[in-house]
Amino acid sequence: MRKASLASKALPLVCLVVAFAASLTLSLIRDRRFINTLPRLVKGYRNESQIAVQILSSVLSMAQVLIVCSLFNFAARIKLFESAASIGNLSFWSALSIPRFDTSLPSSRLLFVTLTLALGTGLGALWTGSLTPLPSTAFRDDGKVPVPFFNSSITRTMYPRHKDGAIITECGVRPVQDPRGSNYPQLDNCIVINKLGNLIMTASTATNVTSPRQHPKLDNSTWTYRGRSYGKGSSAGLLGPVNTTEKSADEGFSYQESGYSTSASCHNQANAIFPFKKYYTGGGGQLNLWSSQVVMLDSGNVSIPPFYAASSVSDGVNSKPFGYFAWTAISDKGAYYIATSAQQVSWSENLNHILCTIEFTPMTFQTTVSKVNQSITVTPMERIDNFNQTGNIKDAIIWDLDLFSRSSSLSVTYTPLYYAISNNMQAAKTAYKVSDDVAWELSLQDAIVEVADDLLTYQGILAVGRNESVSQPVQRQFAAIKIGQTEYHFALLVINIFLCTIYLYEASRTRYWKHLPDFNFLDIKALTLAALGPEKSNESAAIASPSPPSSRRDEKDSTKLVAFYDEKSRPRLRYVRAPREHQRTTSADQHSVLPPRDHGSSRDNDFAMEDHENMDLSDMHSKPLLADSRVV
């Protein structure tokens, strides 16, 4: 018997190695993010990349299907030369070796063939999901970014309150020049005076109801904070990462910096004494100035210096007293307070007798800067030891708040801060689901926190602008591509491991298909030559199939196909019909009905022996012949 060549047996192994190597490689690079070249190619040639993925998926899935079909085919070819096979088995083997939907098969075998057909489609989908380039984000630890360093040169305020609490009318605007030569926006030390409207807007939108608050950065309104700023993100819009090695344009960066998380707790002080004393009347008797020396009986020995309010004699419409509202921020022995006072039975009485305690908690923050939408997100990380032992930065914020109180409270016709808190009160009432009285306190509480955050941010901006900063490691963010989805990678790897196991088992069982004949019954040319003989091959096209016998099912069940090699080592096929009494015999018994091999007889070249009418060429030519799954 002529045996199959080594090359024909090696093809499934080559396909197995290729498929397994591809799935293993995809699994190993599942966490890899590609930047630079690949994202540009995918973005610039999106249609072409999709076509390439489909081609690769088809090739790799075909390789896996070929492995399965080859195992069926090899087993069937060996089986065909070991024992007789029924036409039904040959049809089943054929449908498995070349997956096709054969309706003549029994329902149980047809279901198995259907699953084999679905295998190719399913594998193609898995390979497509594993090879499709997906947009992702890559992070690289690359470079450093400057963050503010609050040293001892910062006094308790950049513009100290004048003697006796006089109102500051000038604050000496001074642009900050960076010694590194960078082009900064025009910065000045007069944040409260020059950004008063921004701070009022912050107070009026301090409470978020349904989504994180978004608000502009004070020095550059094109940048937006998402959520609380916590006084961080000073470098955004000023300086990006420096000393970087990756020259590709990044989409953003993130870093950690130390800072303060500001919190406030506001409560109405029922026993507080807020005596207001009129000390000036001007404008033809239309303007009153008031001073108040507050004594907080409920809060211990808190020293609160005098603070001031202004009011008009009438509202200009109904000649009713306009009333007054005033507040102040103080630092007392390491404690920080805000006190408010308002005239009773007036529009501002809701904010009368409120004392707020302010706390600064040192923490580490994660600052994430997005260059794509120019946004800044700050996330608290963990509490740390106090990094500013002198307390000068906290004192500066309190003095800024005090200047803000006098700038926003003293107005002849209106009080901007009161209206800001009033607008925010409705949001606080909705967000916290509390009564009006409590909502006023919470509204003031949120406003203080957000304004303090803005002031901390600007102090950091000034420090960076003065080059009073330290460098922090930065993690840059790039637009990247990842190859496929991890679930598909592992699914294909498991499938290929299973195929390797089956392949090795079959190779071991058959000693690498040692007795595999070179005759392949799926090759129509080889099948024709084997059935008719070389001398009749040219006439094969003219042979007509005879009419099937009356009992076709019985004929098929009792007819077996025998494959053998003649005296010249040419493959031959014969139909052999078993006697009636032996139709139910086993396959082993069926060997006994095979005729003796008479190599000298010219009838060996015939497709049938005595019973030429037993040939069923139409059935054989209409169905490719494949291997029985039982021998795999």
10-22 per-position pLDDT tens digit:
889 999 999 999 9
pLDDT of residue 567: 64
Q: How far is CA 525 from its chain centroid?
A: 55
Greater pLDDT, 98 or 84:
98
Greater pLDDT, 426 or 495:
495
Torsion (CA) 192, 195, 201, 206 in degrees, nearest 10: -50
Contact by Cβ (8 Å): 145, 82? no
pLDDT band at 479 (very low <50, low <70, confident <90, very high): confident
Within 176-293, where are the H helices?
191-194, 196-204
Q: Which residue has the tokens 């094109």?
A: 222
pLDDT of residue 380: 94
CA atoms within 13 A on the CB side of 610: 4
Residues 494-518 pLDDT 10s: 999 999 999 999 999 888 888 888 7
* Three-state secondary-structure class, residue 573: strand
CB burial readout 179-196, b (16+ within 10 A) else e: eeeeebeebbbbbbbebb
Q: Which residue has the tokens 């007795």?
A: 515
The pLDDT mean for the chain works out to: 73
Q: For the whole model, what pTM was predicted? A: 0.63
Q: How far is CA 559 from CA 396, 406, 521, 609, in A?
A: 104, 110, 18, 12
> What is the token pair recorded at 554?
């019985």
Least confident of 17-21, 480-484, 593-597: 593-597
Could you tell me the sign of the dihedral formed by the alpha carbons of 380, 383, 389, 395, in that order?
Answer: positive
pLDDT greater than 50 at residue 50: yes
